[in-house]
Structure 1
Amino acid sequence: MDRLTAMEMFVRVVSAKSFSAAARQLGVSKSVVSKAVAELEDRLRAQLLNRTTRQMSLTEVGQAYYDRCVAILDQVSETEQIVTSGSRCPRGLLRVSAPMTFSVLNLGWPLSDFMEQYPELSLELTLNDRVVDIVEEGFDLAIRISRRLKDSNLIGVKLSSARTVTCASPKYLEQFGEPQHPRELLKHHCLRYSNLGPAQEWSFRDPETGDPIQVAVSGRIIANNGEVLRAAAVKGDGIIAGPSFLAAEDIRQGRLVPILKEYAAPPFGIYAVYPPNRHVSAKVRRLVDFLKGLWGENPPWEEACDVC
């Protein structure tokens, strides 16, 4: 068996987490797949997989070999496309990690439109608010939201931006009044993100000097999900300071009212990050270009918050 075929079978076994499942996907017998992986291990003189009767996992050297196999097979596939079709049409599996709330609100239909353009492409989208290790966990690309990307070996491309919007429902403002300065938030019920800790500060900027203003807020409700806090704000339970993409539709419909607009902190970026391969795969490059073109510097959530 040629080496590339054996490498493809090995990658399928790892991604499917099963020799039997990989064999079904490839349309061959389980024994053919097992033999291919065994031949690889003999050639490399190294154990790639830990096998038991119930589970299978990569060894340390197996993980390193798997990562290189994925990169090599992607490059081979892309090279074949160039030769056979004269174009770089995305194909294969595209694995994307993205933050939960942002993706639920803004990534669903755009990805559907993107996939319609490339019938040979398949997508695996994982929503998670933690910062994933792209290489270690096998993702092609991740979307991250930050004022500044942490230094890393990853390539970062800015897709768009968003801002923090402080707002409350008309019901809440009628009952408790509208704060005119950030420090007046000390007298209000503030809806807080639990991942920032029970004692947290909200950031603002002085409109005249540009100096930062930090306010230690408090309130009766704390949660680790923006949608939950947004719903509480709409109901009138307190003031929320959240990203514009979270509050945009409620502001458009009048369910939330922006406050402290002149004290808004600087916007933050929405980025695509991916490993620094010498040749960026067609599927990653096309998705980055698609999302950047779709959102850009005037995304729909900012247009909806223009009243801010």
Structure 2
Amino acid sequence: MMKRLPDLEAWAIFSKVAEHGSFSRAARAMGMSDPTVSKAIGRLEARLGLTLIARTSRRIALTDAGRAALERASRILSEGEAVEDEAGAQSTVPRGRVRISAPLSFGIAYLGSTLPAFLDAYPEITIDFALSDRKVDLVAEGFDLALRIASLNDSSLLSRRLCTVRLLLVASPDYLDRHGMPTHPAQLGGHCALAYTGGASRTWRFTHPTFGEETVEPAVRVWTDNADLLNPALLAGQGLAIQPEFLVWRELRDGRLMPAMPEWSVAPLGLHLVMPPSPLRPLRVQALIDYLARELARAPWDVDRIRE
């Protein structure tokens, strides 16, 4: 049978009574009533089968047992106060490790540049990044949060949408000069495709404001699970690919790549912060969530905004 836990509150009250030499003065100092203090001492004495404080109508005095117990009781009180002080400091000064999962290409391109300002603002927070296109299990794998570029399905996780990530069919001007600009998804069968395998489907789906939706399975020359690998082949005129705007916006801005089949669009994705289901989060985690939400709320790769 498990031993009962010690009555830590009563021992702290005992220490205060000994310090003030009076039940009533100790009660006032602690913001308690006299009966509450008296009952706490009574609980201790009943539990121990010993008298800790001898009472008379005019004064109190510690017994031998009370004097023997006072040093450790005072230590219990001081340790408890120290724990609360430290915990209180943590509630106002974020500290500790935050573990975050993020997509590999996006993390390398954008999260690294956000780190210095955050680390300056929160010197007691440590960040543990796990960069991978794998969809991690936040709860089972012990992550505090994740960044995901996706169309999120309903789940038990909490999420916060930060911005839109457009997906663009792109190619180099040289490639389009040699192979022609496609005007309909059906024409993509005669083109060389470079494809990211991170999605569940190997088909490309396009939408037109007049003609509706078309789905094609392109003739793919290169498959990869990391979209960064496709950019050099695109720039070298080896084919066309559907790329997230954040990976090609500079090339589009500089004219080294251009949109192909511009009247047809691919459904955009969202950049989301995803968190375990509990709404209660340590301050260090909330600090990083708020910071990333501010930094990424307006997509830094938004070509239309940059042109403005």
The residue number in structure 2 matching 1:215 is 216
Structure 1 residue 195, shift from structure 2 partner: 4.3
CA distance in 2, matches of 1:82, 1:208: 61
For residues 17-43 of structure 1, what are the alpha-carbon distances to aligned partners after superposition, in whole Å with 9 as ceiling and x for unaligned?
A: xxxxxxxxxxxxxxxxxxxxxxxxxxx
The residue number in structure 2 matching 1:299 is 299
For residues 171-202 of structure 1, what are the alpha-carbon distances to aligned partners after superposition, in whole Å with 9 as ceiling and x for unaligned?
A: 111111111222211110010123458x8211
CA distance in 2, matches of 1:221, 1:277: 42
Is the CA contact 1:179–1:260 (under 8 Å) kept in the aligned structure 2? Answer: yes
Structure 1 residue 254, shift from structure 2 partner: 1.7
Structure 1 residue 79, shift from structure 2 partner: 7.7
Please show how residues 21-60 of structure 1 align to structure 2 within 5 Å.
none
* Aligned mate of 1:83, from 60, 80, 88: 88
The residue number in structure 1 matching 2:207 is 205
* Aligned mate of 2:149, from 129, 145, 152: 145
Is the CA contact 1:160–1:292 (under 8 Å) kept in the aligned structure 2? Answer: no
Is the CA contact 1:251–1:304 (under 8 Å) kept in the aligned structure 2? Answer: no
* Aligned mate of 1:188, from 170, 191, 197: 191
Q: TM-score, normalised by structure 1?
A: 0.67
The residue number in structure 2 matching 1:156 is 159
For residues 236-255 of structure 1, what are the alpha-carbon distances to aligned partners after superposition, in whole Å with 9 as ceiling and x for unaligned?
A: 10001111111111112221
Please show how residues 94-173 of structure 1 align to structure 2 within 5 Å.
94-147=98-151, 149-173=152-176
Is the CA contact 1:249–1:304 (under 8 Å) kept in the aligned structure 2? Answer: no
Which amino acid counterpart does residue 236 of structure 2 have in structure 1? K
Structure 1 residue 306, shift from structure 2 partner: 6.7
Cα RMSD (Å): 2.4
* Aligned mate of 1:179, from 179, 182, 191: 182
Is the CA contact 2:253–2:303 (under 8 Å) kept in the aligned structure 1? Answer: no
For residues 43-83 of structure 1, what are the alpha-carbon distances to aligned partners after superposition, in whole Å with 9 as ceiling and x for unaligned?
A: xxxxxxxxxxxxxxxxxxxxxxxxxxxxxxxxxxx985773
Is the CA contact 1:99–1:144 (under 8 Å) kept in the aligned structure 2? Answer: yes
Distance 1:143 1:80, change over 3 A: farther
Is the CA contact 1:81–1:88 (under 8 Å) kept in the aligned structure 2? Answer: no
CA distance in 2, matches of 1:162, 1:264: 13
Structure 1 residue 304, shift from structure 2 partner: 6.1
DSSP 3-state at the match of 1:107: helix
Distance 1:84 1:105, change over 3 A: closer
CA distance in 2, matches of 1:262, 1:88: 52
Structure 1 residue 88, shift from structure 2 partner: 3.0
Is the CA contact 2:146–2:273 (under 8 Å) kept in the aligned structure 1? Answer: yes
**Percent same amino acid at aligned positions?**
35
Provide structure 1 residue ranges, at least 5 long, that are not aligned to the other structure. 4-77
Which amino acid counterpart does residue 222 of structure 1 have in structure 2? W
CA distance in 1, matches of 2:172, 2:198: 24
Distance 1:130 1:80, change over 3 A: farther
For residues 248-274 of structure 1, what are the alpha-carbon distances to aligned partners after superposition, in whole Å with 9 as ceiling and x for unaligned?
A: 111122211112222112321111111
* Aligned mate of 2:97, from 75, 89, 93: 93
Structure 1 residue 278, shift from structure 2 partner: 4.0
Which amino acid counterpart does residue 301 of structure 2 have in structure 1? W
Alignment partner of 1:287 is 2:294: no
CA distance in 2, matches of 1:219, 1:281: 46
Say which is worse superposed, 182-191 or 278-287, in terms of deviation. 278-287
Alignment partner of 1:237 is 2:238: yes
Is the CA contact 2:196–2:227 (under 8 Å) kept in the aligned structure 1? Answer: yes
CA distance in 2, matches of 1:306, 1:186: 33
Provide structure 2 residue ranges, at least 5 long, that are not aligned to the other structure. 6-82
Distance 1:226 1:84, change over 3 A: closer
DSSP 3-state at the match of 2:272: strand
Q: TM-score, normalised by structure 2?
A: 0.67
DSSP 3-state at the match of 1:90: coil
CA distance in 2, matches of 1:182, 1:162: 21
